[in-house]
Amino acid sequence: MQLIPAIDLKDGKCVRLTQGDIKRMDVFSDNPVSVAKKWESLGAGIIHVVDLDGAFTGNTINLETIKKILDAVKIPIQLGGGIRSLDTIEKYIKMGISRVVIGTAAVKNPKLVKETVELYGERIIVGIDARNEKVTIKGWVETSPVNCYELAREMEQIGVKRIIFTDVSKDGMMEGPNIKSIKKMLKQTTLKVIASGGISSIEDIMALKQIDDDNLEGVIVGKALYTQKIDYKRTQKLLEEGD
């Protein structure tokens, strides 16, 4: 299981939100490029970048910062936030983004997901962000009536191979992940799952690893890394020792 550091961008800065609430934001760095280089130097195999401004507005607000990150590191970048059109997806892939994460559009425009999966295969990931099993959209500001497990099955049917599954109520709370919902998602589909939300300690990560499902291929960690509650190198080593 891979430990994936997150860089959330707001106004060109590296930040973390609590439960996706813009009013509960901590700024961790004014220089996201140096943050990306740090994670690369510590051995990260991929970095998860989120354009929060894009998620809220649907526009590519942090484009220049994203370009600078791509230029600064050699490891793959996985990008989400406001990616709701084929033009945007094509632009990011041409820039060198390895994986594009589609969230809101998976609910609003599943045809777009199908079309892009046919074009780009596993470079397309669907982000399923849920609160009480209902999918949240537009930067988690709105809650749709769509059930998260039903959406996962629908995405699987149209050719998606991998999802990022986030329990919004857990994100940034440092209270541990929703193990029950992650297990349920793994049972409901054959999709590869990257878990996200609530990771606060090495114990949380090892609890995920104990699920012992090959389809649980990674975990995204943000605040716990930035507040030094999790040491990246030590944790990744522990994960690798069990493989």
- pLDDT tens string for the chain (243 positions)? 999 999 999 999 998 777 656 777 788 899 999 999 999 999 999 999 999 988 887 777 899 999 999 999 999 999 999 898 999 999 999 999 999 999 988 999 999 999 999 999 999 999 999 988 999 887 556 788 999 999 999 999 999 999 999 988 755 545 678 999 999 999 999 999 999 988 999 999 999 999 989 999 999 999 899 999 999 999 999 888 865
Residue 94 in tokens: 């041409």
How far, in Å, CA of 116 to CA of 10, rounded? 26
Q: Which domain holds residue 20?
A: 2-241
How far, in Å, CA of 138 to CA of 115, rounded? 21
How far, in Å, CA of 231 to CA of 189, rounded? 32
At residue 140, the pLDDT reads: 59
- Annotated active-site residue 129? The verdict is yes
**Total domain count for the chain?**
1
How far, in Å, CA of 14 to CA of 152, rounded? 29
First-to-last alpha carbon distance for the chain, in angstroms, is 8
Q: Is the pTM of this model over 0.85?
A: yes
Residue 57 in tokens: 């507005």
At residue 27, the pLDDT reads: 85
Q: Pick the catalytic residue from 51, 53, 129, 204.
A: 129
Q: Pick the catalytic residue from 8, 51, 171, 204.
A: 8
Tell me, what CATH number does 140's domain have?
3.20.20.70
- Annotated active-site residue 8? The verdict is yes
